[in-house]
Structure 1
Amino acid sequence: MKESNYRILVIEEDAALIRKIQQLLTLHHYDVHTSSTAEEGIYICRQYQPDIVVCGVKLRGSSGFHFLMELRNDTSLQHIPFIFISGKEGKEDMRMGMNLGADDFLSRPFKSKELLMSIKSRLTRFTIFNVQQRDKHTTIISVPAIPQEAHHKLSKTEFRVMQMIAEGMSTKEIAQSLNISIKTVENHRHNISKKLNLTGHNSLIKYAIKNLTQQYKILS
């Protein structure tokens, strides 16, 4: 499938940002629909079945979190890959978005290349299909997408810790879940970052979110 066949919904309260993203994606031959409200966004999803959604945390009269919950609770739409964009680099926004089922999270200001790469990655990783062609016997299941470098370099415990990070769990929550000390979790995080050559603030969180997402497969 060529890029020009992909349909993208951009939903955000900031009209200037919508125009900027729309111009960028149109330039790269994507078919772009836009909205500023969750209600209209759901209508567009049901009407046009976008291949991916790019959504702001803040929407007019609502929030991106509310929109994502509606999307994931609708069996005809829950397969759609979802990218959050936020006005600030906040762990709480990132954690909330990933817990609700987002597939990636970009903090503003972000470069055009980052958005394009995220979209291409999501479109490549997910099985894109037309819901209208599914019959009532079709079942959608999700399976973890495991990056090869993480699979080969990390121990089972380290990989489990990274999965929990991708799910939005804090160091304290991971420690309680695994029944280990906070210091041990911190050591695991340090070792994971070192093995994967990750540096910088929140680099491990971003890596986990971008790579340990869910792929969707269709069982007929």
Structure 2
Amino acid sequence: MKDPIYKILLLEEDTTLLKKIQQLLTLHNYEIITCTSAEEGIYMSRQYKPDLVVCGVKLRGGSGFHFLMELRNDHTLQHIPFIFISGKDGKEDMRMGMNLGADDFLTKPFKSKELIMSIKSRLIRFTFYNIQQRDRKHTTIVSMPVIAPEIHNKLSKTEFRIMQMIAEGMSTKEIAQALNISIKTVENHRHNISKKLNLTGHNSLIKYAIKNLTQQYRILS
């Protein structure tokens, strides 16, 4: 097995679920750091500087919301991608999590593929963030997109831009803010893109975007 490329901090009060997710992510070659409380999570974040956080809404001695606020208020940790997992099918929890700066929100029971796909798409953005933070005085970043020909032929300029943002791991809310349009408009664009590309299923558009529009970066010193 190859050495793990990314470190993921996993917080969950349910130790049985914690172990199941840990086993799943380990099989996908991620290095996993686990804890069950918000206080411990902050310590682990500062100690190990994870590449991504997967966190339950309920934690021992606190909540995932409190942990996320602490993370976003720390300038050394605030850029870390954050995925919530919740046992509730509650829109209020989802809204609160996204408003606090979460990148995604999965409701239990979720499929393993959903979690893995969410992690992969967020790590694409994290990798690009790290590249951008390098010393630009001595580094030139050249992007070389791998683009399927049918994408340009079938999509409008706006739809193509939205596809790029999806490939970068941006949420519907983030896309709406970046393009200064409503969330409903973004959802309509996503629906039209899926229809034009004959894509079906909740995650099919994300998978297609990552596969066909992922930017490959060459670092030139």
TM-score tier after normalising by the smaller chain length: 0.5 to 0.7
**CA spacing shift, 1:47–1:190, aligned 2, 3 Å:** closer
CA distance in 2, matches of 1:89, 1:56: 13
The answer for the alignment partner of 1:109 in structure 2 is 109
Question: Judging changes above 3 Å, is the alpha-carbon distance between structure 1 residues 190 and 166 closer, same or farther for their aligned structure 2 residues?
Answer: closer
Identity level (%): 75
TM-score by length of 1: 0.62
Could you list the per-position Cα deviations for residues 155-192 of structure 1 after superposition, in whole angstroms to 9, with x for gaps in the alignment?
A: 9xx9xxxxxx9449xxxxxxxxx9xxxxx9xx999989
Distance 2:5 2:43 in 1: 20
Q: How many residues align?
A: 187
**What is the Cα-based RMSD across aligned positions, in Å?**
4.5
Q: 2:12 touches 2:55 (CA, 8 Å); kept in 1?
A: yes
Distance change in 2, residues 1:80/1:19 (3 Å): same
2:41 partner amino acid:
G
**Helix, strand or coil at the partner of 1:126:** helix
Q: Give the Cα–Cα distance (whole angstroms) in 1 for the partners of residues 94 and 7 of structure 2.
A: 25
Unaligned runs of 5+ in 2: 136-146, 160-170, 175-180, 211-221
In structure 2, the partner of 1:29 is 29
Name 2:143's counterpart in structure 1.
Answer: none
Q: Secondary structure at the match of 1:5?
A: coil
How far apart are the structure 2 equivalents of 1:54 and 1:43? Answer: 15
Question: Any idea what the Cα deviations from partners look like across 1:133-163, whole Å, max 9, x if unmatched?
Answer: 989xxxxxxxxxxxx9xxx9999xx9xxxxx
Mapped to 1, the partners of 2:195 and 2:121 lie a distance apart of: 24
CA contact (8 A) 1:55 1:83 kept: yes
**TM-score when normalising by structure 2:** 0.62
Contact 1:95-1:167 at 8 Å conserved across structures? no
* Inter-partner Cα distance in structure 2 for 1:17 and 1:106: 14
Give yes or no for the alignment of 1:90 onto 2:85. Answer: no
Dislocated runs of 4+, deviation >4 Å: 152-155, 165-168, 187-200
Unaligned runs of 5+ in 1: 136-147, 159-164, 169-177, 179-183, 212-220
